[in-house]
Structure 1
Amino acid sequence: MTFFRLYKILAIFRAYRLDELLPAHQSSKWLRFLLICLFWVRPKAKHQPIGERLRQALHELGPVWIKFGQMISTRRDILPKHIADALAKLQDQVPPFDGKIAKQLIESALGKPINTYFSDFDEIPLASASIAQVHTATLKSSQAEIVIKVLRPNILPVIQSDIRLMYWVARQLTKRIKFGERLRAVEIVNNYEVTLLKELDLQQEAYNTIRLRENFINSDILYIPYIYQELSRKTILVEQRVRGVAIANIDELKRNNVNMKLLAERGVQAFFTQVFRDNFFHADMHPGNIFVDITDPQNPRYIGIDCAIVGILTEEDQRYLAENFLAFFNRDYRKIAETYIASGWVPETTDPAALEMAMRNVCEPAFAKPLVEISFSQILLDLFQVARQFEMDIQPQLTLLEKTLFYIEGLGRQLYPELDLWQTAKPFLEKWYEDKYSAKKILQQAWASLPEWRAILPNLPAKLNDQSRITKQINQQLVSINQQLQRNKKSQRYLYCIIAVVSTLCVALLILR
């Protein structure tokens, strides 16, 4: 981290008066003093609330900090609501870099001139984001319209430099502020670093996109663009150009008479299908990555792009999560508590009755509202917060899922405020759980494994004999070792006697002298 970069960050910190975010604690005086020293820096956004000032400061600091603000806006377990809401407005729109440079980067990645594969390459980007920007072109071989996503030049050193500073600040907060470890600042920066590094590998994004597309091929719910894998590299991604209405453009959707109720319900279906049926979910479904195909307004379909960040659950987490959701739908708080303990999310020594009571205190007030007003994602977050009071370990895969559910439910309620998440989610989960863990399914799995048993059974008697022989040999070895130990003990006793006799003789000789 250069001195100039550190100075710029501190200057922006002072300009937006972000010292208001510092805790009133002795350990933060050193930073307050540094900011006071920058007395020549003019204030900005004078009359804006602190959340809006923080958002503008992150935007001015550049791409890495914009992404950080987007990520931390989902951590409503540690941020005040007004700050989280302000950061959620961060738009991943940053000034584009020169299209001629983008063309050179694409040619360098492909090792050939751009007109070898593409025509009509537009140097003016279609979209520009913090990590990459997108250009349109036509594929020469098929005349298909495509987009080329290309990483920003020299983005890695910028990211590494700012990440180092973030780690330093996080460690200072943890070390110098009372109860600083509760902020989990280092953990947040670490999660952010992992997320950013994934986004820097466009080849991995290509693999993720291909897998999601295969999962939803011919689906009425979600469409994923086709990837030209043979032309994609670590620094460029070539995919089918798709057209649709941005999900955030609700007025445009309404002008086209889109069935908003169905669209909202399909968002919920897409989420639960990815999480439970496929166990592979798009974990960055903010409004900038979602469009709507309105070719048939009464049968709208989502279009998902930017699949760099995906989530996968273990089979155990998947099952426990489904049981947790269903128990919540049925207001079975004892089951919720038992699920948290059985899953290992909280220590096995946790008192189930105490955890049950804490869960009840969170959920019951919500049930006093009409179902359409209950925020499923908020209650899930509240349950995680309660569990953390019982020493719940941070579960990165659940944090991704929690963030995605926030996006999906928020979008659904914007599209159709009367969205009843329960009516859509509960039948899906009940059917999935029944199909997955019913007696019939267990019998089917047993039947499917019969060929393996048929191969094992003929050799089973011999294997049992071998096992018996090995066990007998082990027992014989244990007896031999035990006998040797007994002999050693006797030898030790003889040795002690000899030492005692010799010692006595030595003492006697000394006395006689």
Structure 2
Amino acid sequence: MKLLRLARILSIGLRYGLEEFFLGHERVRPLRWLVRVTLFWRPLNEPRGVRLRRALEALGPIFVKFGQMLSTLEATYKKPLADVFAEFDATPVASASVAQVHFARLHDGTAIAVKVLRPGIAPVIAHDVSLLYAAAGLVEKLFADGKRLRPREVVSEFEKHLADELDLMREAANCSQLRRNFKDSPLLKVPEVYWDYCGRDVMVMDRMDGIPVSQIGRLRESGVNIPKLAATGVEIFFTQVFRDGFFHADMHPGNILVRPGSEQYIALDFGIMGTLTEVDKQYLARNFLAFFRRDYKGVALAHLESGWVPPDTRIDELEAAVRAVCEPVFDRPLKDISFGRVLLQLFQASRRFNVEIQPQLVLLQKTLLNIEGLGRQLDPELDLWKTAKPFLERWMNEQMGWRALVKNLQAEAPKWAVLLPQLPRLAHTYLSRSDDQGALETRLERIAAQQARNTWLLAATIGLAALTLAITLLK
């Protein structure tokens, strides 16, 4: 089965001329002319990017029979579909390679959307992922930057998110979490999940009505303030990343609606969500804020302290490299900036300094590119830096100011309330464990001696301070 799938992938790749992505390497470049001569009949007039998209579309499952979808639903509910839903539209309103969505209505009249996983998709994806691992191994061996790019870790991260996408109960949980994070928010609306109707292969949620974010004309006709909508999108992104550490990582226009007559977004499709640890958030915020302030030394130091560059890296050289890439894009509207080009230049600079790729941040980079495309589409004059900087400064103040201290104390107080009464017993237990009484006495004597020295130093310091104060007063 795997060999057949591999043969199909190779045949489609050759049909669309995708060998160009691999035969550019100097070790296999002599094979390029042989492939071109052998497959001279192929029409390769379209750009390489277009051919890649067509190949990917040909590889994914394009449709599934309605009978298969019915079997999936009835297997989940263990009853006829008419007993579950009062109405069910057999025509999918959205269809992708992994799942499809149908509109329906519950017996109490609630309008819902039913997402159904395509039958048999899991084995296909598992085979494709195994091939990605093989390709990652080749990248590590063939390319000088292979190990630094950590392709196996990147594929592993990708595999985790694919596994999440194939479990619609997990997607429902993602949706529920995001809804809770933005409860009563004027920025983002998230559908409610109906857990009684959800299973691993089926997810049921509120039916969301809105205008696709890509239909700018309809948005304007409904009274939406387009520049404000673009700024709101930036705020939603940074709120998800830095406040929650939990963000929608598939924010292409097909997954975003806008409530008519407002600047409130409606989120759809929660299969791919990104998460960040507190450490990741802190270092990312430092990088973003230093970047927005043009503090390139701060960017370099953040990379060094996070361990993303080797400890012997020269800060001044890394600072100069970041400045050369970033300085030209400041004070420009979004229409004049290409994040893709900036990321490529940063990637080229990172090669010189052996910057390790962080697999957990790959989804964030992908989402940033989605945000760029969305912002460029909505408001090409949007100044991303001025829009994002106040939010980041406010967030950093909350993380490092007195509010953060109170918040951390509140979080840690229950732990200390349990631990403090146990400290004498724990200390006694630790001291009594020693089999060598003489060694225990020696340690206690050292502690006593150290305490005596500390007491003497404290007394001397206080005396010296008193003498200095008296001399000052006499003057």
Band the TM-score falls in, shorter-chain normalisation: 0.7 to 0.9
Query: What do the CA deviations read for 1:350-379 (whole angstroms, capped 9, x no partner)?
Result: 222222222122222223646874556764
Structure 1 position 471, deviation (Å):
6.9
Match of 1:194 among 140, 156, 160: 160
Structure 2: how far apart are the matches of 1:182 and 1:456?
43
- Looking at structure 2, the residues matched to 467 and 368 of structure 1 have their Cα atoms a distance apart, in angstroms, of 61
> 2:271 aligned with 1:308, yes or no?
yes
Provide closer, same or farther for how the CA distance between residues 368 and 451 of structure 1 changes in structure 2, counting only shifts above 3 A.
Answer: closer
Q: CA contact under 8 A between 2:197 and 2:203: conserved in structure 1?
A: yes
CA gap 1:147/1:357 in 2 versus in 1, 3 angstroms: same
Is residue 436 of structure 1 aligned with residue 399 of structure 2?
yes
Q: CA deviation at 1:27?
A: 3.4
TM-aligned CA deviation for residue 478 of structure 1? 12
Q: Give 2:462's aligned residue.
A: none
Q: Partner residue of 1:133?
A: 100
Task: Supply the distance in 2 between the matched residues of 1:346 and 1:11 (Cα, whole angstroms).
Answer: 41
Gaps of 5+ in 2: 443-475
Aligned match of 1:47: 45
Q: Which residue of 2 aligns with 1:402?
A: 365
Looking at structure 1, the residues matched to 33 and 140 of structure 2 have their Cα atoms a distance apart, in angstroms, of 17
Alignment partner, residue 324 of structure 2 = 361
SS at match of 2:299: helix
CA distance in 2, matches of 1:477, 1:347: 42
Counterpart AA for 2:208: V
For residue 421 of structure 1, report the CA deviation from its aligned partner: 1.5
Name the larger-Rg structure: 1
In structure 2, the residue matched to 1:278 is: 244
Q: 1:17 to 1:451 in 2, by over 3 A?
A: closer
1:219-368 to structure 2, matched below 5 A, reads 219-294=185-260, 297=261, 299-367=262-330
1:105 to 62, 65, 72: 72
Whole-angstrom distance in 2 between the partners of 1:346 and 1:179: 14
- Equivalent positions of 1:350-499 (< 5 A) are 350-367=313-330, 369=332, 373-374=336-337, 379=342, 382-383=345-346, 386-442=349-405, 445-446=408-409, 449=412, 453=416, 460=423, 463-464=426-427, 467=430, 473=436, 476=439
- Whether 1:208 and 2:174 are equivalent positions in the alignment is yes
Secondary structure in 2 matching 1:271:
helix
* Larger displacement relative to structure 2 (222-231 or 441-450): 441-450
Give the C-alpha shift of residue 274 in structure 1.
0.7
Q: Is the 8 A contact 1:118 1:139 kept in 2?
A: yes
Deviation string, structure 1 residues 429-484 (Cα, Å, up to 9, x no partner): 111111121145325644775676566556655655555555794872899xxxxx
Name the % identity. 44
Q: Which digits, 9 at most, give the CA deviation of each residue in 1:194-233, with x for residues without a partner?
A: 3322211111001000000011111111111111112111
Deviation at 1:280, TM superposition (A): 1.0
1:147 counterpart SS class: strand
In structure 1, the residue corresponding to 2:28 is in which secondary structure?
A: helix
Q: CA deviation at 1:133?
A: 0.8
Q: Is the 8 A contact 2:334 2:375 kept in 1?
A: no
Letter in 2 for 1:10: L
2:289/2:393 contact within 8 Å kept: yes
Tell me the TM-score normalized by structure 1: 0.77
Deviation at 1:414, TM superposition (A): 0.9
**Preserved CA contact (<8 Å) 2:169 2:199:** yes
8 Å CA contact 1:372, 1:421 repeated in 2: no
Alpha-carbon distance in 2 for matches of 1:455, 1:176: 55
Q: Which deviates the most, 144-153 or 385-394?
A: 385-394
Query: Contact 1:222–1:301 (CA<8 Å) still a contact in 2?
Result: yes
Moved more, 218-227 or 4-13: 4-13
The residue aligned with 2:9 is: 9
Which residue pairs with 1:62 in the alignment? 60
- Higher mean alpha-carbon deviation, 236-245 vs 181-190, is at 181-190
1:32–1:208 CA distance, 2 compared to 1 (3 A): farther
Paired letter, 1:269: E
TM (norm. structure 2) is: 0.83
Query: Secondary structure of the residue that 2:310 maps to in structure 1?
Result: coil
Q: Specify the code of the residue in structure 2 equivalent to 1:17.
A: G
Per-residue deviation, 1:349: 2.8
Alpha-carbon displacement from aligned partner over 1:25-45 (angstroms, at most 9, x marks no partner): 453667976786667xx524x
SS across alignment from 2:24: coil
Alpha-carbon distance in 1 for matches of 2:158, 2:168: 17
Aligned to 2:121: 155
Provide the C-alpha distance between the structure 2 equivalents of 1:103 and 1:447, rounded to a whole number of angstroms. Answer: 51
From the superposition, tell whether residues 221 and 465 of structure 1 become closer, same or farther in structure 2 (CA, over 3 Å).
same
Offset of residue 319 of structure 1: 0.9
* 8 A Cα contact 2:117 2:166, kept in partner: yes
Which residue matches 2:472?
A: none
- Which residue type is aligned with residue 50 of structure 1? R
Instruction: Tell me if the contact between 1:220 and 1:301 (Cα under 8 Å) persists in the aligned partners.
Output: yes
Q: 1:165 is matched with which residue? A: 131
RMSD: 3.1
Cα distance in structure 2, aligned partners of 1:450 and 1:179: 47
- Which structure 2 residues correspond to residues 29-40 of structure 1 after superposition, within 5 A? none
